[in-house]
Chains A and B, each alone.
Chain A
Amino acid sequence: MLRDAGLVALKDLRIEWTSRILTAQVLPFGLLVLILFGFGISPERIVQGRDRRTVLEDVSPALFWLAVLFSSLLALGRAFAIEAEDGNLDALQLAGLDPAGVFLGKMLAISAELVVLELVIGGGALLLYGATIEHPLLLVAVLVATTFALSAAGTLYAALGAGIRVRDTLVPLLVLPVLAPVLLGATRATESALYGSASDGWPWAGFLGAFALLYLGAGILFFGSLLEES
């Protein structure tokens, strides 16, 4: 299983590396979303109360994760488009690769892509929204846990749309409600890491980790059923 996972992950990352879709299209899209949020929420508006933060800074964790979420949809769609174009899913089955290994490999490749997305979009958010980091350790934990939560659930649900003509419209409908708790948890935890108390954030980070593990298990268990005769 791990051998197959490594093989698939390396292959997917190599494809991303040569095609540059991630850097040339998905990353700029994520940054664009950040800028558009800035247009939507006037940057001069101030939060009432003691803190006197701008509204934009106040909601920057949510905007950051929304931008990551939308960008990850593009990355997910692509991960299965490359398999469906030329009948490669059949060939993967003929090769006798362990479906759980294929799932893990796809998930790891998407995780790596998500980390790049998060670093660039996160840098953009700090810069554009003027946020500061209070608890860096918590932030790192949240980033790692959310990455795996997004990639595990995302890979499983993107596979539901593999090999279907209406994939592009179906997968977002399926995946976004599922990722709603992840968005919720990641945003709360990131708020704590940026301008709250760390003790509020750690339980959410734990929740995200548990979510990732649950979907990791579901993916290993069900991926074979999804690929069969598709």
Chain B
Amino acid sequence: MNASELDGPRVKRTVLGQEGRVVSTSSELTRALGVVAIVASVVLVVLGLFVSPADLFQGDNVRLFYLHVPVAIVALYIAFTVTLVGSVMFLLKGSVFWDLLAGAAAEVGVLFLGLTLVTGMLWGRPTWGAYWVWDPRLTSTAVSFVLYLGYLAVRKLEMDPTARSRRAAVLGIVGFANTIIVKYSVSWWRGLHQGSTLKPLDSQIEGLMMFSFFVGVVAMMAVFAWLLVHRFRLAWLQYQVDERQLEVALRERRSEGSSSGLAQGGI
């Protein structure tokens, strides 16, 4: 149980909320991340909505890309990779840290994937004339979304926590492989429908568009990291609370023995 990677000592210090100390999931790290996230987001809004030019073919619709693509990149490439790594490490090491990290990343990942779908559909309405078209990326994203909803459902099952974590870990690994399969099979199927890319007027404007996009990626990564750390710490706190309740339960269980058992002359 190694939490040091995510600023662990501080978590441990505040975790139990003893002596009236306020329990918090924040730290210097998350505050810094939060500032980065906010600043980058504000810059993104300014750049994306006001400074950067409209696209030659897509017009103002292109502005949605500065949010849509970074969110999709973070969800598909970062969040579920963290879940994959956490799942593999949990199966190898069996430590709660990796299990909780995998779960936290999947939860935030599903949120980002949902955002990807919503922004993708909003972009599709003016561009393609419909909220939903069978675009390969949109379709495979939708399937992955349901796949990871299933992963989260397994994490919420009422059963032995260790066995549940192990099942979730298997799902986290196989589900990742399956996301790749879905992606390739769908684009193979819809091979001719290539999604639009940026088609700017000249190279100078292209630079500005690329910069906005870059800021979007930074902003979304910061938001993701901030959410992930908080979500993980919340799960870690929950785990500590559970461990504490276990101690109480153990004490109760033991006193059960001394009060009932022999005093009543056995059964």
Chain A positions near chain B (C-beta within 8 angstroms) = 156, 160, 163-166, 170, 173-174, 176-178, 180-181, 184-185, 188, 207, 211, 214-215, 218, 222, 225-226, 228-230
Q: How far is the CB of A180 from chain B (nearest CB, A)?
A: 5
Do residues A225 and B146 form an inter-chain contact, with CB atoms below 8 A? no
Q: How far is the CB of A55 from chain B (nearest CB, A)?
A: 18
Chain B positions near chain A (C-beta within 8 angstroms) = 91, 143-144, 146-147, 149-150, 153-154, 157-160, 162-163, 166-167, 169-171, 173-175, 177-178, 181-182, 185-186, 188-189
Number of A-B contacts (CB under 8 A): 75
Main secondary structure of the interface of A (DSSP, over half): helix
Q: CB-CB < 8 A to B149: which residues of A?
A: 173
Q: CB-CB < 8 A to A178: which residues of B?
A: 147, 174-175, 178
Do residues B170 and A160 form an inter-chain contact, with CB atoms below 8 A? yes
Do residues B163 and A173 form an inter-chain contact, with CB atoms below 8 A? no
Do residues A229 and B162 form an inter-chain contact, with CB atoms below 8 A? yes
Q: CB-CB < 8 A to B162: which residues of A?
A: 229
Do residues B177 and A170 form an inter-chain contact, with CB atoms below 8 A? no
Do residues A226 and B189 form an inter-chain contact, with CB atoms below 8 A? no
| Complex: A185 Cα to B182 Cα, angstroms | 10
- Asked whether A184 and B189 contact (CB < 8 A) given A156-B174, A160-B167, A170-B153, the answer is yes
- Asked whether A170 and B154 contact (CB < 8 A) given A226-B167, A229-B160, the answer is yes
Do residues A174 and B150 form an inter-chain contact, with CB atoms below 8 A? yes
| Complex: A214 Cα to B177 Cα, angstroms | 9
- Asked whether A174 and B171 contact (CB < 8 A) given A164-B159, A180-B143, A184-B185, the answer is yes
| Complex: A215 Cα to B178 Cα, angstroms | 10
Do residues B150 and A173 form an inter-chain contact, with CB atoms below 8 A? yes
